[in-house]
Structure 1
Amino acid sequence: MKKTLTCLCLILLLFACKKDKNVVTPPVVPPVVVVTGPEFTEVKLEAKNNTGKITADVALTADGTNLKGYTPGTTESHSFVLTFKVRDAASTVKIGDVTQVSGVTVNDFTKPATYTITDSKGVSKNYTVSIYNFTGLPIFNITTSGPVVSKDDYVTGSLKVNTNGLFEQTTNDIALQIKGRGNSTWDMPKKPYRLKFNSKAKLLGLASAKNWVLLANYSDKTLMRNYIADGVAQSLNGDFTPHGIFVEVVMNGQYVGTYLLTEQVEVNADRVNITEMKASDNSGAALTGGYLLELDQRLDETNWFRTAANIPFTIKSPDNASPAQIDYIKTYIQDTENAIFGANFADPVNGYAKYINTDSFINWFLVNELFKNQDAANFSSMYYYKDRNGKLGMGPAWDFDLGAGNVDYSDATNPTGWWVRTGPWFNRLFQDPAFAAKVKARWEYLKANGIPAMYKSIDDTQVYLTLPAKENFTKWNILGQYVWPNPVVLGTYPREVAQLKQWLTLRVAWLDTNL
C-alpha cells in the first residue's frame, strides 16, 4: 500500500510539473493613475471676448508650464481677455493678488504674465502665459513721407517699435531718415535699408547710435547666413563683430518681410571702436589714426587708392580725409604690403608683424574661409582698421549672404578647396610657418568651441524662425524658384536650412583635414 501511494504521488507530481509549463502568466495591469492637482486643461483667446483685436479664436500651445499664443496680423495689441478651464473646478486662478475670471478679466501681455492656480487642497502651480503679435519677433512699423526708391537719397519718416516683450525699448517713436542700401541686393524685390535716426537711440538692447541696417537676405532662403556667421566671429572674439536681431518690417502699413537688424559699419565707440579723426589731425601721433578702410573693387568712396599689387582700398573714415591723412594711410598700407612680400617678411621684428595685428587677421580669415565667403576673396566688404599708434587690423567680418555655398558662379559653391587663403596677402602670410601654426592653433579653438555652438545656433534659429519664415515666404513666394545666385532650389524652408548645415559640416571636415 505504501509503495502504491508513493508511486501515485510521484506520478501526480510529474503530471503537475508538466502541466505548469503550459500555464500562461496573466499580464500585469498597471494601476490607474488619476491626475490631480492644479492644471489648465484649456487656454485660448476667444474672438467674442476680444472684439476689435482678433477675428478668430487663438488657441495657446503648451511647452510644460509655458503657454504661448500668436495673434494674427501685425497690428500692435497687448491687452487681452484669456478664456481658460482648470482640472479642479474649485481652483482659484490669480495673477499676483488679482483673481482671474475666465472670459472676463483683462490683462496686459506686453510682458509674459504668471498665472497661479491653487486647487481645493491648497496646492499651487505657476504658468507663464505669453501673447505675441504676428510671429513673435519685434515688429518695426516704419512710416515714410514718400516711397523709398533710392540708395542715395534719404526719405524722412518715423519708426515705431513693437518689441513683443522680448527687449527693453525706452524710445518707441523714433524720427528718422531712410534710404536703400546694398549693391546687387538693392536690385532684388525685397529691398535692404539704411536707417539714420535724427538723434542717437538704443534699439532692442543694442548700444545707442544713429545709423542702423536692415538686411533683407532675399537670396539667402535660410534667412540666417549673416546671423550664424556673426555668431562664429563672436566666438573668436573677432574685432568689432556686429550683432544681429531678427525683426518683422511693416512699411506704410504693408508687411515687407523678415529682416536682420544690425549695426552700420562705422567708427563709433560701440561699433568700430577706434579714434575718430578730426580734419586737423594732420601731424604727429594724431595723423596715425584711426582709419577705417574697405577693400572694395567697386571703388564707391570719394577717396581711394591701389597698392603696387593692384589691391583697391577705399577710405570709409575719416569721411573727408585731408591730403595729409590720405597720404599717410596710403603709405602705411603700401609699407605693409612691401613687408609682406619682402625677403625677410617672416622676421618677427621687421617683417609683416611690424605692421599688422596678426591675431586680428587670423580671426577674420577663419570665419570667412569657413563660410567660403564669395566677396571675401579680394572683392568687397573686407574691412580694415588702424587705430592711433596701432597696427593694421581686420574687421568687422561682414556680408555673408553669398557664403556657405550660396553662389552658382564660382568655386565658392563647393565645400572643398581654399578660397580666402589664395588671396595675395594671405597666400604669402601662410608661407610663414609661424603664421600657419597660429592659424592651426586658432582653428583647434574654434573647432572645440565656436563650431559646436554654430550647429546648435542653426537648429535653434530654425525653430525660432518657423513662424517668421512662413510669413516671409508667403509674402515672397520664392522657395520653389531660382533666385540669383542660388546653386539649388529646394522648395521648403527646412530643406534650405538642412542644406546649409550639411554644407558647413562638409566644409568643417575639409578644413580640419587641410589645416
Structure 2
Amino acid sequence: MQLKTNSFLHLAILAILSLFLIMMFSNSSKNQISPEKCEEIGLSVMHIDTMAGKKINSKINYVTAMYEAEEFSGSCKIRGHGNTTWQTRELYKRPYLLKLNKSAPLFGMKQSKKWILMANTADKTSLRNEYAYFLARNVWNRMKWTPDARFAAVFINGKFNGLYQVTEKVEHEKLSLPEGSFLATVNSRLNKEWNFHTQRGTKISIRMEQKSEAEYKKMEQIIQNAEDVIFSPDFKSTEKGWQSVIDEDSFVDWYLINEFTKNHDAKFQASCYFYYDSQAKKIFMGPLWDMDISCGNINYDGCQDPEGFWVNKDQWYKRLFEDEYFAEKVAERWNETKQKLISSFDWLENESKNVKPFVMLNDSVWHNLGRRQWPHAPGWKNRKTYESEVYYMTDFLKKRAQWMSNEYSGN
C-alpha cells in the first residue's frame, strides 16, 4: 500500500512540475514576441490591458480594461467565454468575450459592442470555423446571416497571448428581425438566462435577455408548437406539416454544412442556433457557430470517419428525413452545389498558406503541433507540422465529399 501511495504521489508531482514548466516556458516565449513582429507577417494586432494587470480567470465576472485595435481604442470589459476550452486540461489558451463601452467596427467588420476572441485551441489548423463561414457564404448560402471574423494577434497586459479570431457575437440584433421574433439555441448545458426541455427532450436556451417570464413562456410555446407539428401524424402535409412551421431553405443548407463537415455538436447537442421570424411565422436555422470539432477533428462517435451520416440520426432532423420530400430537397441542393464545394478545396489550401505564418507564431508559444491535445484526432502522433494538419483536414473533406456524392447520386 505504501508503494502504491508513493508511486501516485511521484506521478502527481511530475504532472504538476510538467505543467509548471510548460507555463513558465510559455510566459517566456510570450515576452519574446512583439507587435512589430506580428505586423511584419501581415497579422493585425489587438492590445488589451486590464486594470492593475488583473488576470482574466472567470467566465462570469468581467474585468475592466482598455483596448486598442488599429485606429480604434477605448474602455472595455472582458471575461472568459466558451465551455470545453475552459474545462479541458490539455487546452491552455482560452477564448474571451470582449464588451466595448462604445461600438466600433473592428478590423473592417461591422460596428458592434460585443466580440468573441476565438482561441481555436482545439483546432491545430485554425481553419475550421473560417472554412464553415466560407461555405455559408459561397456554397450553402441560404441562411440569413453568418458571423464575420478576422485573425489578430492578441496582447494581454503587454504579453503576446496568441493568434485569435476576432469574431462577431451571435445576437438577435445582428439578424435584423421584425418585432416579436427571437433567437434560440439547442444547448445541452442549459446554462443561459432562460432554459427548458421540449416534450421530446430537446434542450433549448432562449438567447434573449431581460424579458419577462410571460414573454419567455410565449417563445417557449412557439418552439414547442413547432416540434409538435414536426412529430405530428400530418407532418408530411404541405398545409399542416413541417413546411408550415419551419423554413425549408435554411434547414437544408444548415444541415448540409454540418453534415458535410460532420460537426459533432450539430446532432442537436450544442451551439445549434435557430430563430423565429414573427413575420414569416416560421423557425429558421442558423447562424453557424462553433465548428472546431468538425472536419475529422475528433476521435469518437464515428465523427472521425469520412463515411456515414451523423446529423440526421437524432431529434428534429431524423424526423424530417422520414419525409421523402425533405430528403429529396437535400439531395437536390447537394447536387446543384457540388461543383462550388469542390472549388472550396482550392480556397482552403490557399488560405492555409496565408494563415500558416500566424499559426506558427502562435505555436512558438503554445506548442500545439505534434502534441497530445483534446479532441485527439486520429493519427495526431504522426502529424508534426502545420502542413500535415491541413492535409489531414482536406483529405477528410475530399473523402467526405466523395462519399456524400455517392449517397446522393441515386436521388
Which residue among 140, 148, 162 is the counterpart of 1:243? 148
Which residue among 393, 404, 407 is the counterpart of 1:511? 404
Which residue among 416, 430, 440 is the counterpart of 2:321? 430
Higher-helix-fraction structure: 2
| Alpha-carbon distance between aligned partners in 2 of 1:233 and 1:374, rounded to the nearest angstrom | 18
Letter in 1 for 2:265: D
2:72–2:104: 8 Å Cα contact kept in structure 1? Answer: no
2:344 matches 1:454: yes
- Which position in structure 1 is the counterpart of 2:206? 315
| Alpha-carbon distance between aligned partners in 2 of 1:507 and 1:452, rounded to the nearest angstrom | 11
2:60 matches 1:139: no
Counterpart secondary structure, 1:445: helix
> What are the Cα deviations for residues 408-434 of structure 1, in whole angstroms up to 9, with x where unaligned?
122111111111011221111112122
2:272 matches 1:382: yes
Letter in 2 for 1:312: K
| Alpha-carbon distance between aligned partners in 1 of 2:172 and 2:315, rounded to the nearest angstrom | 27
> What are the Cα deviations for residues 142-199 of structure 1, in whole angstroms up to 9, with x where unaligned?
111111111111111122124xxxxxxxx42132111110101124210101110001
Alignment identity in percent?
33
- Which position in structure 2 is the counterpart of 1:204? 107
2:190 matches 1:304: no
2:111 matches 1:151: no
Which residue among 330, 339, 342 is the counterpart of 2:229? 339
Q: Give 1:321 deviation, angstroms.
A: 2.5
Which residue among 403, 421, 442 is the counterpart of 2:312? 421
| Alpha-carbon distance between aligned partners in 1 of 2:118 and 2:97, rounded to the nearest angstrom | 9
Structure 1 residues 389 and 212, CA gap change in structure 2 (3 angstroms)? same
2:122 matches 1:219: yes
| Alpha-carbon distance between aligned partners in 2 of 1:408 and 1:73, rounded to the nearest angstrom | 34
| Alpha-carbon distance between aligned partners in 1 of 2:194 and 2:175, rounded to the nearest angstrom | 19
Structure-2-length-normalised TM-score: 0.86
Q: Give 1:135 deviation, angstroms.
A: 2.4
> What are the Cα deviations for residues 54-106 of structure 1, in whole angstroms up to 9, with x where unaligned?
xxxxxxxxxxxxxxxxxx953359xxxxxxxxxxxxxxxxxxxxxxxxxxxxx
| Alpha-carbon distance between aligned partners in 2 of 1:438 and 1:447, rounded to the nearest angstrom | 14
Structure 1 residues 445 and 273, CA gap change in structure 2 (3 angstroms)? farther
- Which position in structure 1 is the counterpart of 2:14? none
**Structure 1 residue ranges without an equivalent (≥5):** 1-71, 78-131, 163-170, 276-285
- Which position in structure 2 is the counterpart of 1:262? 167
2:33–2:160: 8 Å Cα contact kept in structure 1? Answer: no
Matches within 5 A, 1:481-492: 481-487=371-377, 488-489=379-380, 490-492=383-385
Counterpart secondary structure, 1:142: strand
> What are the Cα deviations for residues 333-353 of structure 1, in whole angstroms up to 9, with x where unaligned?
122112111111111111111
Letter in 2 for 1:133: E
Which runs of at least 4 in structure 1 moved beyond 6 Å after TM superposition?
none
Counterpart secondary structure, 1:398: coil
| Alpha-carbon distance between aligned partners in 2 of 1:446 and 1:141, rounded to the nearest angstrom | 41
Letter in 1 for 2:211: A
| Alpha-carbon distance between aligned partners in 2 of 1:371 and 1:75, rounded to the nearest angstrom | 35
Structure 1 residues 356 and 345, CA gap change in structure 2 (3 angstroms)? same
Counterpart secondary structure, 2:199: coil
Letter in 2 for 1:512: S
Counterpart secondary structure, 1:465: helix
1:159–1:175: 8 Å Cα contact kept in structure 2? Answer: yes
- Which position in structure 2 is the counterpart of 1:12? none
1:73–1:134: 8 Å Cα contact kept in structure 2? Answer: no
Q: Give 1:306 deviation, angstroms.
A: 1.2
2:370 matches 1:470: no
| Alpha-carbon distance between aligned partners in 1 of 2:353 and 2:302, rounded to the nearest angstrom | 31
Letter in 1 for 2:301: S
> What are the Cα deviations for residues 467-489 of structure 1, in whole angstroms up to 9, with x where unaligned?
11221111111212110112231
Structure 1 residues 335 and 218, CA gap change in structure 2 (3 angstroms)? same
Letter in 2 for 1:457: W
- Which position in structure 1 is the counterpart of 2:299? 408
What is the RMSD of the two structures over their aligned residues, measured on CA atoms?
1.6
**Structure 2 residue ranges without an equivalent (≥5):** 1-31
Structure index of larger Rg: 1
Higher relative contact order (CA 8 A, sep 6+): 2
| Alpha-carbon distance between aligned partners in 2 of 1:76 and 1:157, rounded to the nearest angstrom | 22
- Which position in structure 1 is the counterpart of 2:78? 178
Letter in 2 for 1:345: F
2:133 matches 1:230: yes
| Alpha-carbon distance between aligned partners in 1 of 2:323 and 2:75, rounded to the nearest angstrom | 52
2:351 matches 1:443: no
| Alpha-carbon distance between aligned partners in 1 of 2:156 and 2:343, rounded to the nearest angstrom | 34
Matches within 5 A, 1:24-63: none
Which residue among 152, 175, 179 is the counterpart of 1:272? 175
2:72–2:106: 8 Å Cα contact kept in structure 1? Answer: no
Structure 1 residues 454 and 332, CA gap change in structure 2 (3 angstroms)? same
Letter in 2 for 1:261: V
- Which position in structure 2 is the counterpart of 1:160? 68
Matches within 5 A, 1:88-103: none
1:74–1:139: 8 Å Cα contact kept in structure 2? Answer: no
Counterpart secondary structure, 1:211: strand
| Alpha-carbon distance between aligned partners in 1 of 2:297 and 2:35, rounded to the nearest angstrom | 34
| Alpha-carbon distance between aligned partners in 1 of 2:401 and 2:114, rounded to the nearest angstrom | 35
Counterpart secondary structure, 2:35: coil
